[in-house]
Amino acid sequence: MTIDAGEMALVYLHCECYKNVTLDKLHKRWLEMRKVFYSAILLLAGVFFMSACGGNNDDERQEVTFENVRLAFIHPGNIYDRGYTYRQHDGTLAMAAALGIDPETQIRNFWTRLSPDEVTTSIEEAIAWGADMIFATSFGHGPPMLEAARNNPDIMFHHATGNLAVDANLPNFHNYFGNMSQARYMSGIAAGLRTETNVLGFVAAHPNSEVITGLTAFFLGAQSVNPDVRMYVQFMGVWNNPTLESQIAQALIDQGADVLGQHADSPATQLVAQENGVWSVGYNNCVIAEAPDATLVAPMFVWEIYLNEAVRNFVEGRGNPTDFIRGWNEGMVVLSDFNTNTIAPGTVEAVVTAEAQIRAGRNVFTGPIYGYRNIGPQAWSDTPEQLLAPGEEWIEPMSAPSWAHRVSGIIFLN
Amino acid sequence: MDLLVLFINAAVIAGTPYLFGTMGEILTEKSGNLNLGVEGMMFMGAIGGLLSVSLLESGLGVDVAPGLAVLLAVGVSFLAGAAGAFIYSVLVVTFRTQQNVTGLALTIFGVGLGNFLGDFFGRRSDTGIVRISARAGAGFSRLDIPVLSDIPYIGPLFFNYNILVYLGIAMAIVLALFFKYTRIGLNLRAVGENPAAADAASIPVAKYKYAATCIGGGICGIGGMYIIMVTTAGGVWIHNVVAGFGWTSVALVIFASWSPRRAILGSMIFGALRVMPFYFPANQLITVGFISFTMPNIPMQFYAMLPYAMTIFVLIFTSIRPNRETNPPGGLGVNYFREDR
């Protein structure tokens, strides 16, 4: 009796199912069934072959118009996070409404795609669906997006928060971002005026330069109105984990912080502040409904500023810039409405003053700034050095924020 | 207040959902059913408990009293968790499906159902969120027991938690006594150890398995409700709120070696490990009593790994010295066919 590999597999399966059946009976069964088995394989191969041939028939693309352009969005979370992705999707819908694009049929969203293989699969799905432009919205989406841009020169790839486009210099790979530091700075003013213990707490996601730039701008804003302020920062290592966010927020409050800031995707920090009777500054969504007695204000992105321009440029045959950044003056970053029940007296006036300066071109990162160069072990050395001389400005080299120094007064707790 | 007291406080509060999940799973596994659907049942309990209060409030247009909110949330989250476990019991006990696969399917179902209902009712509400009123939420905040809570150190350490913490610990003690001293408890253990022998002793095996699994699932559901009401503060639905508590609870069952008393200790240790990095931050001079020290900068991921590493160590130690007390129930994970005897 000879047994081949397919037979072995079947024998194994049968042994699992019918433990009492003898090998002879199994062999007999195999002989009965092998025709079915082989014809099923043939059928599958045929289907595969036909679908592979059939896939190539839309070689000649129609001219792209607003009525037929197809856009795919890859998000790290979903709109129910009531934070970052929620805000991103708001921008998508606003862009669709402005340009007359049907969000049901012409836009496809891929939610909660974080790991590179998930992103790669989503890109493949989007291409198979016929996407003309693919947008990815999380920093970690960068490498698979770049890879796909190299392999698909006909499709436009747009990556928010990323930093790979300048070096790659491909015609179809773009980075875009808003200058969040400006809005962060202004929200920091609200925090600096509100605090009574002069200790701020910051629930931070990843220890990367996007987060550090943001929290530094927030701190500089607070410091500009309250020179005695200090800020504790705890990093999580993930973008979105409500439990972790709330436990860290509680710990920061227990260590004396009375105004919390956040660079994390859920509103948990705001809720903990509400529960403890302290204050908080949101991010991307002002959650006055959730935390009416805690939330002061929230800095937010307005993504449609870029999306409108990028989609219009593409459809009308103009190119898009490799690296795109807009800020406060163009409305790419804004502040939410102030929560008038919680802000300290004089907050609106102080923010209006700062806003006028920023509108006139004042850089948030203007010296003198003291601190510790680079994060890493040396960031805990004892003597701060001068990072920026008085009057010296630090100009962001590209759209992705890249400030990575610890300013005196900010304390990294991990 | 002393940092150590605050830390222990936070550890107990962080550990309590593990306690509920672990207790529920211990009760389930004592009947011989290995239900890996804890995460799913926690999600079902979380959304059930939250919706029961929030829908009642929006339906009646009034804020529910704190005591009623707690009763309602505990009751409905128990029922929701038990409903999840009932699906599992029907499949596993009656239809004898493979236990691991069924548990995993229950997790997928529960996570999906919880997120779906939370997001669905959030979208339908005026504010865009599902939440309970501040008045109802007060039922889940820290108790302030007169006199007792004011004793220095003792008060904040023992008499300053929310009511669910005491409920959890009381349930664990009751469960331990139940397994050891009651006839039903001993019968249940017999069913888990050797269902054929129990059957021969005319113990209704299927009934016991159903009851233990459903009640266990209900207790897991209370754990999920605790996460939404206490851990993430204030009874607001947040997408993916349970985020792994159920899986950690399954690991804790092994850590506690199927003993509800050790589950209390284990869940507090797991809670402590979870919040430790936030209370003993790196590179800061920390003073606890008379001792001052500085913690090195240890990455978050290391702390996240510790509970699982400890579980592995416990597994190794318990297998070095085989001991009847720390063994899993003999019939765990195996479906019982009377005709197979």
**Tens-digit pLDDT profile for residues A57-107:** 444 557 889 999 999 999 988 887 778 898 999 999 999 999 999 999 999
- Report the pLDDT value the prediction gives residue B190, as an integer from 0 to 100: 95
Contact A362, A391 (CB under 8 A): no
Q: Quick one: closest CA in A to B286, which residue? A: A255
Residue B340 lies in a domain: no
Which residues does chain A have within 8 Å of residue B274's beta carbon, measured at their own beta carbons?
A: 247
Q: What is the largest CA-CA distance in chain A?
A: 92
Contact A181, A339 (CB under 8 A): no
Tokens 């069952």 identify what position?
A: B253
- Report the pLDDT value the prediction gives residue B239, as an integer from 0 to 100: 81
Amino acid, single-letter form, for residue B162: N
Which residues does chain B have within 8 Å of residue A412's beta carbon, measured at their own beta carbons?
A: 282-283
Residue A150 pLDDT > 80, yes or no? Answer: yes
Gap between the Cα atoms of A277 and A342, Å rounded: 11
Tokens 């790991």 identify what position?
A: A115
Residues 6+ apart with CB under 8 A from A179: A325, A326, A327, A328, A332, A333, A396
Task: Give me the residues paired with residue A259 across strands.
Answer: A200, A279
Sign (positive or negative) of CA dihedral A52, A56, A58, A64: positive
Which residue among A234, A254, A290 sits closest to B236, beta carbon to beta carbon? A290
CB contact under 8 A, B300 and A236: yes
The dihedrals phi and psi of A203, each to the nearest 5 degrees, come to -90, 110
- Report the pLDDT value the prediction gives residue A57, as an integer from 0 to 100: 44
Gap between the Cα atoms of A336 and A90, Å rounded: 14
The 3-class secondary structure across chain A, one letter per residue, is CCCCHHHHHHHHHHHHHCCCCCHHHHHHHHHHHHHHHHHHHHHHHHHHHHHHHHCCCCCCCCCCCCCCCCEEEECCCCHHHCCHHHHHHHHHHHHHHHHCCCCCCCEEEECCCCCHHHHHHHHHHHHHHCCCEEEECCHHHHHHHHHHHHHCCCCEEEEECCCCHHHHCCCCEEEEEECHHHHHHHHHHHHHHHCCCCEEEEEECCCCHHHHHHHHHHHHHHHHHCCCCEEEEEECCCCCCHHHHHHHHHHHHHCCCCEEEEECCCCHHHHHHHHHCCEECCCCCCCCCCCCCCECCCEEECCHHHHHHHHHHHHCCCCCCCEEEECCCCCCEEECCCCCCCCCCCHHHHHHHHHHHHHCCCCCCECCEEEECCCCHHHHCCCCEEEECCCCECCCCCCCCCCCCEECCEEECC
Residues A207-230, mean pLDDT to the nearest whole number? 93
Task: Give me the residues paired with residue A372 across strands.
Answer: A406
Q: Is B238 on the interface with A (CB under 8 A)?
A: yes
Which residue among B119, B243, B300 sits closest to A414, beta carbon to beta carbon? B300
Residue A4 pLDDT > 70, yes or no? Answer: no
CB contact under 8 A, A246 and B233: yes
Which residue among B141, B236, B277 sits closest to A414, beta carbon to beta carbon? B277
The 3-class secondary structure across chain B, one letter per residue, is CCHHHHHHHHHHHHHHHHHHHHHHHHHHHHCCCCCCCHHHHHHHHHHHHHHHHHHHHHHHCCCCCHHHHHHHHHHHHHHHHHHHHHHHHHHHHHCCCCHHHHHHHHHHHHHHHHHHHHHHHHHHCCCCCCECCHHHHHHHCCCCCCCHHHCCCHHHHHCCCCHHHHHHHHHHHHHHHHHHHCHHHHHHHHHHHCHHHHHHCCCCHHHHHHHHHHHHHHHHHHHHHHHHHHHCCCCECCCCCCCCHHHHHHHHHHHCCCCHHHHHHHHHHHHHHHHHHHHCCECCEEEECCEEEEECCCCHHHHHHHHHHHHHHHHHHHHHCCCHHHCCCCCCCCCCCHHHC
| CATH number of residue B241's parent domain | 1.10.3470
Residues 6+ apart with CB under 8 A from A413: A232, A233, A234, B277, B278, B281, B282, B284
Residue B337 lies in a domain: no
Contact B171, B16 (CB under 8 A): no
Question: For residue A2, what pLDDT band results from cuts at 50, 70 and 90?
Answer: very low
Residue B338 lies in a domain: no
In A, residues 232-271, which contact B (CB 8 Å cutoff)?
232, 234-237, 240-243, 245-248, 250-252, 254-255, 266-268, 271
CB contact under 8 A, B115 and A77: no
Residue B287 lies in a domain: yes
Residue B147 lies in a domain: yes
Contact B136, B53 (CB under 8 A): yes
Residue B189 lies in a domain: yes
**Tens-digit pLDDT profile for residues A328-385:** 999 999 999 999 999 999 999 999 999 999 999 889 998 888 888 876 554 555 678 8
pLDDT averaged over every residue in chain A = 86
Which residue among B10, B115, B118 sits closest to A254, beta carbon to beta carbon? B10
Residues 6+ apart with CB under 8 A from A254: B3, B6, B10, B279
- Report the pLDDT value the prediction gives residue B186, as an integer from 0 to 100: 95
Residues 6+ apart with CB under 8 A from B242: B39, B42, B43, B46, B111, B114, B224, B227
Sheet holding A385-388, edge to edge: A385-388, A369-372, A406-407
Sign (positive or negative) of CA dihedral A233, A235, A239, A241: negative
Residue B262 lies in a domain: yes
The dihedrals phi and psi of B289, each to the nearest 5 degrees, come to 60, -115
Gap between the Cα atoms of A134 and A107, Å rounded: 10
Gap between the Cα atoms of A297 and A291, Å rounded: 11
- Report the pLDDT value the prediction gives residue B241, as an integer from 0 to 100: 85
Gap between the Cα atoms of A35 and A48, Å rounded: 20
- Report the pLDDT value the prediction gives residue A22, as an integer from 0 to 100: 59
Which residue among A241, A289, A413 sits closest to B282, beta carbon to beta carbon? A413
Peptide bond into A368 cis (omega under 30): yes
Q: Quick one: closest CA in A to B131, which residue? A: A290
**Most B CBs within 10 Å, among A248, A286, A290, A411, to test the B interface:** A290
Q: How far is A162 from chain B (nearest CA, A)?
A: 24
In A, residues 371-390, which contact B (CB 8 Å cutoff)?
377, 380
Contact A261, A138 (CB under 8 A): no
Q: Is B141 on the interface with A (CB under 8 A)?
A: yes
CB contact under 8 A, A267 and B238: yes
End-to-end CA distance of chain B: 62
CB contact under 8 A, A271 and B6: no
Q: How far is A339 from chain B (nearest CA, A)?
A: 16
Q: How far is B301 from chain A (nearest CA, A)?
A: 8
* Count of domains for chain B: 1
**Most B CBs within 10 Å, among A81, A211, A243, A274, to test the B interface:** A243
CB contact under 8 A, A242 and B232: yes
Gap between the Cα atoms of A44 and A67, Å rounded: 37
Residues A279-283, mean pLDDT to the nearest whole number? 93
- Report the pLDDT value the prediction gives residue A59, as an integer from 0 to 100: 46
Residue B310 lies in a domain: yes
Amino acid, single-letter form, for residue B27: L
Structural domains in chain A, CATH included, are 71-178+303-326 (3.40.50.2300), 180-298+336-412 (3.40.50.2300)
Which residue among B231, B275, B284 sits closest to A251, beta carbon to beta carbon? B275
Residues 6+ apart with CB under 8 A from A336: A282, A285, A286, A297, A298, A299, A300
Q: Quick one: closest CA in A to B132, which residue? A: A290
Gap between the Cα atoms of B305 and B311, Å rounded: 10
- Report the pLDDT value the prediction gives residue A265, as an integer from 0 to 100: 84
Q: How far is A122 from chain B (nearest CA, A)?
A: 21
Prediction pTM value: 0.81
CB contact under 8 A, A250 and B131: no
Q: Quick one: closest CA in B to A246, which residue? A: B232
Contact A194, A343 (CB under 8 A): yes
Which residue among B119, B233, B239 sits closest to A272, beta carbon to beta carbon? B233
Query: Is the model more confident about A202 or about B144?
Result: A202
Gap between the Cα atoms of A304 and A92, Å rounded: 6
ipTM: 0.83
* Encoded tokens for B74: 């505990």
Domain extent, residue B278, equals 3-330
Q: What angle do CA A87, A88, A93 make, to 5 degrees?
A: 95
CB contact under 8 A, A237 and B301: yes
- Report the pLDDT value the prediction gives residue A55, as an integer from 0 to 100: 46
Gap between the Cα atoms of A378 and A398, Å rounded: 25
Which residues does chain B have within 8 Å of residue A254's beta carbon, measured at their own beta carbons?
A: 3, 6, 10, 279
Which residues does chain B have within 8 Å of residue A204's beta carbon, measured at their own beta carbons?
A: none
Which residues does chain A have within 8 Å of residue B301's beta carbon, measured at their own beta carbons?
A: 237
Other Cβ atoms closer than 10 A to A324:
21
**Most B CBs within 10 Å, among A202, A239, A244, to test the B interface:** A244
Task: Give the CA distances from residue A158 to residues A78, A221, A265, A322, in Å, rounded to whole numbers and listed in that order.
Answer: 19, 31, 21, 9
**Which residue ranges of chain B lie beneath pLDDT 70?**
1, 233, 341
CB contact under 8 A, A247 and B281: no
Which residue among B127, B232, B277 sits closest to A271, beta carbon to beta carbon? B232
Which residue among A234, A237, A243 sits closest to B232, beta carbon to beta carbon? A243
